[in-house]
Amino acid sequence: MAADPSRVISNLRELAALTSDENGAQRVAFTPTWQKARDWFAGKLSGLPVGRHRDAAGNVWLTLPGESPRSLVLGSHLDSVPNGGWLDGALGVLTALEVLRSIAEDCNGRPPFTLRLVDWADEEGARFGRSLFGSSAFAGKDSIAADRLRSDRDGITLEAALDENGIEIDRIGDASAEQENIAAYLELHIEQGPVLERLGLPLATVLGTKGVERHAITFRGQEAHSGSTPMQDRRDALAAAARLALEIYTIAGRHKDAVCTMGSVKTFPGIVTAVVGRCECTLDQRDLSPDVLAQMYREAIEASERFASQQGCTVEWSRIWSIEPIPFHPKLIALCRESIEEIAPGCPSLPSGPLHDAAEVARAGIPTVMMFTQSLGGISHNKVEDSSEEHLGLAVAAFDRLARKTLTWLGQE
């Protein structure tokens, strides 16, 4: 019997009621509310023939042993940002649970391949600024040295918070042992953007996660008196930054799905009576194509130098963070599209702008794909985050088909 969307939705509402306040979901990783969510989830497993264990990085795994140890993993995360929504992460975990239950029933508890569910630890990185914590430890990409320095706004270190949650920081890399026998990974997530709503479609196949170039840019001109400095004598660092804030629309606009964002601008001295002498801004550029990403990065540097020169300023770039584009698996992309077309004809293929745990799994060399379902208003990380129940139902049905098609594919390989 196919997965039951109504059970997924009622579980999501129950979890939201248990772990939200008037400002939204509060399942921040490594806090008591998160632990409460995980305990509640463990209570939902009764009657299911699954084993449950936590790995060295705090990821929780359910395992339904199959005829073969080769396994299909369905996953997502129960943690949320502070004041988050009811779907981000939780939709993927609770849909995975329902699909696992449904397949277990259909196979009398013994599928042809092992079926696993993973609830990744701290996808959001909301407390310590380190997103994809559990999945990157799993992928072996974790940098313990950098993580050791992290602390939350109360000065509590990540190391101490992990310790409190029974996780040893020096051993989180051991989570990579979980990679053994994994043949495929599937993740359902809300889009967190407006594209599907604009297209009037419920579901999409995700082609991969965009690469990111993230930089701090500082323009330096000359602080000067706003009353006594003629316009032509100014070396206005804000004017140079303003040109770049607009130029990034041209730079991104040359490519179909590319995005460039100036999210922060700080002016110094930043007073009403002084021409801006120094302007610090950030630039976040994303695309699924490494070539496009490299081109946009190069064009932004060139433009910033041209604008700095035009305004009598200098400019300096400093990389904050970057990650390469991570394409998903062609066969799984095809199966995902097929599953969606059978449920809701018209399946767009989108890159994911936000990163997801699936990106880390794919980096570990495991065939991976994600499915997106429409977000109302494109809003997430907010208590108003929502999707229609109709679309959530279609998502559960399509993801169920995808899991079954993937098991079939594993048998054909």
Count residues near its own copies (CB under 8 A).
60
Instruction: Kindly state the smallest distance separating residue 268's Cβ from its own copies, in Å.
Output: 9
Q: Which of 360, 365, 334, 364 shows the shortest CA–CA distance to 349? A: 334
Report residue 30 as tokens: 């490594």
403, 72 contact by CB (below 8 A): yes
Instruction: Kindly state the smallest distance separating residue 320's Cβ from its own copies, in Å.
Output: 7
Work out whether 224 is an interface residue with its own copies (CB under 8 A). yes
DSSP secondary structure string for all residues of 354-388:
S--HHHHHHHTT--EEEEEEPPGGG--SSTT----
Q: Among 63, 135, 352, 368, which residue sits at the site for its own copies (rule: CB under 8 A)?
A: 352
Instruction: Kindly state the smallest distance separating residue 326's Cβ from its own copies, in Å.
Output: 13
By DSSP bridging, strand 51-54 and strand 60-64 are antiparallel
Q: Among 76, 289, 380, 387, which residue sits at the site for its own copies (rule: CB under 8 A)?
A: 380
Q: Among 140, 270, 330, 411, which residue sits at the site for its own copies (rule: CB under 8 A)?
A: 270
Closer residue to its own copies in complex, CB, 2/379? 379
Closer residue to its own copies in complex, CB, 35/131? 131
Q: Among 18, 160, 265, 376, which residue sits at the site for its own copies (rule: CB under 8 A)?
A: 265
Closer residue to its own copies in complex, CB, 49/377? 377
Identify residues 38-67 at the interface with its own copies (CB under 8 A).
none
Q: Which of 111, 112, 131, 106 shows the shortest CA–CA distance to 121? A: 131
Work out whether 101 is an interface residue with its own copies (CB under 8 A). no
CB-count exposure of residue 292 (10 Å: 0-12, 13-18, 19+): buried
Q: Which of 178, 167, 115, 125 shows the shortest CA–CA distance to 150? A: 125
Work out whether 273 is an interface residue with its own copies (CB under 8 A). yes
Binding part of the chain for its own copies, among 258-266, 295-303, 359-367, 403-411 by CB under 8 A, reads 258-266
Q: Among 82, 109, 112, 194, which residue sits at the site for its own copies (rule: CB under 8 A)?
A: 194
CB-side neighbour CA atoms (13 Å) of 103: 32
Identify residues 230-249 at the interface with its own copies (CB under 8 A).
230-231, 233, 238-239, 241-243, 245-246, 249
- The span from the CA of 347 to the CA of 335, in Å, is 12
Identify residues 280-319 at the interface with its own copies (CB under 8 A).
282, 284, 286
Q: Among 103, 158, 262, 300, which residue sits at the site for its own copies (rule: CB under 8 A)?
A: 262
Instruction: Kindly state the smallest distance separating residue 59's Cβ from its own copies, in Å.
Output: 23
* CA-based end-to-end distance of the chain: 25
209, 352 contact by CB (below 8 A): yes
Work out whether 261 is an interface residue with its own copies (CB under 8 A). yes
Binding part of the chain for its own copies, among 18-26, 188-196, 297-305, 361-369 by CB under 8 A, reads 188-196
Q: Give the phi and the psi of residue 26 in degrees, each rounded to 5.
A: -130, 35
- The span from the CA of 388 to the CA of 326, in Å, is 29
Q: Among 6, 23, 264, 309, which residue sits at the site for its own copies (rule: CB under 8 A)?
A: 264
Instruction: Kindly state the smallest distance separating residue 51's Cβ from its own copies, in Å.
Output: 35
Per-residue contact track with its own copies, 199 to 218, x per CB under 8 A?
-----------x-x-x----
Q: Where are the beta strands (DSSP E) in 156-258?
A: 182-190, 203-209, 211-220, 224-225
Q: Where are the beta strands (DSSP E) in 42-201?
A: 51-54, 60-64, 68-77, 113-120, 182-190
Residues making contact with its own copies (CB under 8 A)? 191-195, 198, 210, 212, 214, 224-231, 233, 238-239, 241-243, 245-246, 249, 252-253, 257-267, 269-276, 279, 282, 284, 286, 320, 352-355, 378-381
